[in-house]
């Protein structure tokens, strides 16, 4: 059994997105000790039914290693670091056929039309 937070980490999305899927009956939950939990089989069914490959590394440096192939990125301005990280994450998601939260929401909105 997984909490919403654990499911979000597994799926590589925010906890808000998981709650939204639950509220829209896209993802099943059960109650255990008065807490909403998601069974492993329900989580697997959800992943299969969406047809989406969810991938999220455990550590941010895993993304960097995957994308950079051990290249060094030099950043002269600390304000640019966040932009560099976002670009690396975006490239990782594109290369691994994953979707970000906004793309996943758009997908579900299109299916509901």
Model pLDDT, residue 84: 72
pLDDT in tens, 36-94: 899 988 888 888 887 766 555 455 555 455 444 555 555 555 556 677 777 777 777 77
Q: What is the pLDDT of residue 47?
A: 82
**H or E element in which residue 107 lies:** helix 101-111
Assess contact for 101 and 21: CB atoms under 8 A: no
Rounded Cα–Cα distance for residues 15 and 5 (Å): 5
Token output for 48: 């299969």
73 contacts 87 by C-beta, under 8 angstroms: no
- Which residue bears the tokens 């030099």? 74
Q: Domains plus CATH for the chain?
A: 1-51 (1.10.1660.10)
């Amino acid at each position: 059994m997984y909490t919403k937070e654990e499911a979000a980490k597994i799926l590589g999305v925010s906890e808000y997105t998981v709650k939204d899927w639950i509220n829209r009956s896209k993802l099943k939950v059960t109650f255990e000790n008065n807490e909403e939990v998601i069974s492993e089989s329900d989580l697997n069914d959800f992943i299969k039914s969406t047809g989406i490959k969810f991938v999220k590394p455990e550590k941010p440096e895993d993304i960097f290693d995957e994308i950079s192939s051990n290249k060094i990125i030099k950043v002269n301005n600390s304000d640019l670091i966040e932009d560099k990280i976002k670009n690396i994450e975006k490239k990782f998601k594109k290369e691994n056929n994953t979707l970000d939260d906004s793309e996943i929401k758009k997908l579900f909105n299109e299916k509901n039309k």
